[in-house]
Chain A
Amino acid sequence: MTVLEQTPGRDESGARPTPPTAGWRPRTDPAPLLPDETPFRLLGTGARLDKRRKELWRELYRGLVHGRRYNRQATALTRQGRLAVYPSSTGQEGCEVAAALALAEQDWLFPSYRDTLAVVARGVDPVEALTLLRGDWHTGYDPRATRVAPLSTPLATQLPHAVGLAHAARLRGDDVVALAMVGDGGTSEGDFHEALNFAAVWQAPVVFLVQNNGFAISVPLAKQTAAPSIAHKAVGYGVAGRLVDGNDAPAVHQVLGEAVARARAGAGPTLVEALTYRIEAHTNADDATRYRSEEEVAPWLAHDPVALLEAELRQRRLLTDTEAEQIAHEAETMAADLRARMNTDPVLDPEELFAHVYAEPTPQLREQAVLLRGELAADADADAHAEPEPTGGVARETRRAPGSDDHPGDRRQDHQERAA
């Protein structure tokens, strides 16, 4: 029974006793948790820059140019059949790069499927970051070594992982912050709610970055939530909400940096909503003209994260033509290298299918591996004797499924030994 359900009694004089709810106050003051009225910006505000920040802005610019080029190259690779699919973050490079740069070496990044760029900006090999989308395995990089969790396709499910990892690190006394990325659509998922709630109750050192890019595939934000803003949702959990212009990379970096510092200092989680826009369709398989107009996209094209930062750097005389050309040239080299490496066929080992299901393959998986090995051997044999397509003979004999044989004799004995 909750406090509110208690029935107030009457004392003998007939006067009402003070109800237990009389002195009720919010458990914490919600005001400091509320996001600002307007998104935080740095570009165009005349902010003073010390030497370190000047260097940071130039580093962000370099990351943005590389990121834009990476997105363009990856999209081209889908057209050439080298990638199964690519959810581009074109237009969102400011968030992607700033997120990666806001973290220290020992921190962890928890990306969603649209955040390949953040993974690369964090330092993961550009080809390994595309393994999922190329399709030769699920996660191509080593999450433990890189401290980058797998790109998460199930929406928002990576958020509780970030909370748990950050919580575990804190319990072990380690200085580790987790930064988890999710889109506006993902904030409708239950795991978003549960992650924020757990993070707040545990005061876990975690930062949630929501890239509000306007669309969940085709569904606009208005059909996703009626909240004043996504950043406002933080207040309900006792979490600080911040709102930032997601196409202002220095601003995103500053807000995330403050949130990471807060988490590191033990002051708990932050929810950051970055306002941005998905310039491309959801993926190369999507057709954005079915649900939005060119008029809607135009102002966002003019509010481009790369162009905005470049203009400001040039205005502040922090970027020369030569430097800009140099960075563009580096990006071209990166793209050419990516192209060349992606144009070679990946080496596949079908038997690896069974290698990582359990610490040790089960007897059943060992049997199935034998079946597959037989098929592979038969295929290799057929290739060796190229001429007509083999329809039986050796292949058929080899393809007898282990485990399906109960005939007395050697075969069963074989099977028992394999299963043992």
Chain B
Amino acid sequence: MTTATSTPARSAPPAGAVPTSMAQAINRALRDSMAEDDTVHVLGEDVGALGGVFRVTDGLTAEFGEERCTDTPLAEAGILGTAAGMAMYGLRPVVEMQFDAFAYPAFEQLVSHVARMRNRTRGSLPMPLTIRIPYGGGIGGVEHHSDSSEAYYMATPGLHVVTPATVADAYGMLRSAIASDDPVLFLEPKRLYWTKETLDLAAPPEAEPLGRAVVRRPGTAATLITYGPSLPVCLEAAEAARDEGWELEVLDLRTLVPFDDETICAAVRRTGRAVVVHEATGFAGPGAEIAARVTERCFHHLRAPVLRVTGFDIPYPPPMLEKHHLPSVDRVLDAVARLQWESEYTEGGVS
């Protein structure tokens, strides 16, 4: 299982801080949002007595009652469709989709209604709802339990698409997502659910504004652009690259829509080289958009083409083969090695 790899945003943990998992932080964000605002309702399959298959909604029904944290019939289109109706009435539903690939039945409600209700009604019916989806692989899940579906959602105007990679962000970004007056796809990297950071849950971090990427590790040689489950891989790769003489910068996108062009381009202009790393398939994947945007905006600063390290263009593999599919430290380092370093020497330049 993945261990803690990144530091929380706040450097000095306050007294009372204890090791906290990402799942616990999300649970706490739900509780705090529900306590603060009685229009926040949690809906989903098994979110009640069981506390969700990942225990993320543990205790919410006991604390707030079945009307605030509701076990629904097993039907994702129905869950999201009724949540849209609740949002039309002014509530703030937080929907849990049990697994990434189980969210597909809700796709029509998402694309045809949730994403565009504000637009088609000229703002009369905003959709202040949050859709939480555990996503990605690396947990040994069998078929239909490990998809990275973010490109579908990114291609749907009207949605915010966010994905935390740290425990503190999981809390702070979920608080912001629930408070948002727009629909937010909140993608939870399920293999990081048990990642721990030291957090004081009695005085939890503030809501983290959506829409901003952060530099997780400073570096000068090249920028690794990543998010969610691939952040620990990139941080590990950056550590290993130091042995090769490369100081790699690691950028955590956190929000995929709206895209933080400003922070990403500033980073790439500093280093002149970039590799995008994600689990989702590469063809027409998030990395394609990122590489295009970086190239359009930073062309004269680039010393090599923007490369991508992604999942292969295959249906998500069976668990015993998934390690060959997922971006690995070696694959990231191989990509870094292909960033045309030789031109530095022929041109006499220094990185």
**A residues with CB within 8 A of B:** 137-139, 142-145, 149-150, 154, 157, 159-169, 171-172, 176, 178, 190-191, 194-195, 197-198, 201, 352, 355-359, 362-364, 403-404, 406-408, 415-416, 419-420
> When the two chains form their complex, are residues B86 and A195 in contact, meaning their CB atoms are under 8 A apart?
no
Contact between chains at A364 and B259 (CB < 8 Å):
yes
Question: Given A416-B262, A419-B261, are A197 and B88 also a contact pair (CB < 8 Å)?
Answer: no
Q: Across the interface, which residues of A come within 8 angstroms of B117, CB to CB?
A: 150
Contacts of B83 in A (CB 8 A): 164
CB-nearest residue of chain A relative to B120? A138
Q: How far is the CB of A129 from chain B (nearest CB, A)?
A: 14
With an 8 Å Cβ cutoff, the count of chain B residues facing the other chain is: 53
Q: Are A144 and B85 in contact (CB under 8 A)?
A: no
| 6 closest Cβ pairs, A-B complex | A164-B85, A160-B81, A194-B78, A164-B82, A362-B258, A138-B120
B257 within 8 A of A: yes
> Taking CB as reference atom, which chain A residue is nearest B76?
A194
On whether the beta carbons of B297 and A143 are closer than 8 Å, the reply is no
Q: Measured between alpha carbons, how far is A134 from B230 in the docked complex, in Å?
A: 48
> Closest CB of chain A to B138's CB: distance in Å?
30
Q: Which residues from chain B contact A197 at a C-beta distance below 8 Å?
A: 73, 75, 78
**A142–B81 CB distance below 8 A:** no
Q: Are B85 and A139 in contact (CB under 8 A)?
A: no
Q: Which residues of B contact A (CB under 8 A)?
A: 41, 67, 72-73, 75, 77-78, 80-91, 105, 108-109, 112-113, 116-126, 157-158, 160, 180-182, 211, 257-259, 261-262, 296-301
Q: Which of chain B's residues have a CB closer than 8 A to the CB of A403?
A: 261, 296-297
A164 touches B262 (CB 8 A): no
B78 and A198 form a contact (CB under 8 A) = yes
Instruction: A408 to B297: give the CA distance in the assembly, Å.
Output: 11
With A and B bound together, what is the CA distance between A304 and B221 in angstroms?
79
Task: List chain B residues, Cβ under 8 A from A171.
Answer: 41, 67, 91
Assess whether B73 is in contact with A408, with CB atoms less than 8 Å apart.
no
> In the complex, what residues of A have CB within 8 A of residue B125's CB?
143-144, 150
Contact across chains for A143 and B258 when beta carbons are under 8 A apart: no
CB <8 Å contact, A160 and B121:
no
Q: Does A363 lie within 8 Å of B181, measured CB to CB? A: no
Contact residues in B for A194 (Cβ distance below 8 Å): 73, 75, 77-78, 81
B82–A359 CB distance below 8 A = no
Residues on B with beta carbons closer than 8 Å to the beta carbon of A407: 300
CA gap between A416 and B264 in the complex, in Å: 12
Q: Are A190 and B77 in contact (CB under 8 A)?
A: yes
Residues of A within 8 A of B261 (CB): 363-364, 403, 419
The docked-state distance in angstroms from the alpha carbon of A143 to that of B77 is: 22
> Which B residues lie within 8 Å of A195 (CB)?
78, 81-82
The complex places the Cα of A111 from the Cα of B262 at a distance, in Å, of 43
New A-B pairs, 10, CB < 8 Å, besides A160-B82, A355-B123: A138-B121, A157-B113, A161-B113, A168-B88, A168-B90, A169-B89, A357-B157, A357-B158, A359-B182, A404-B296
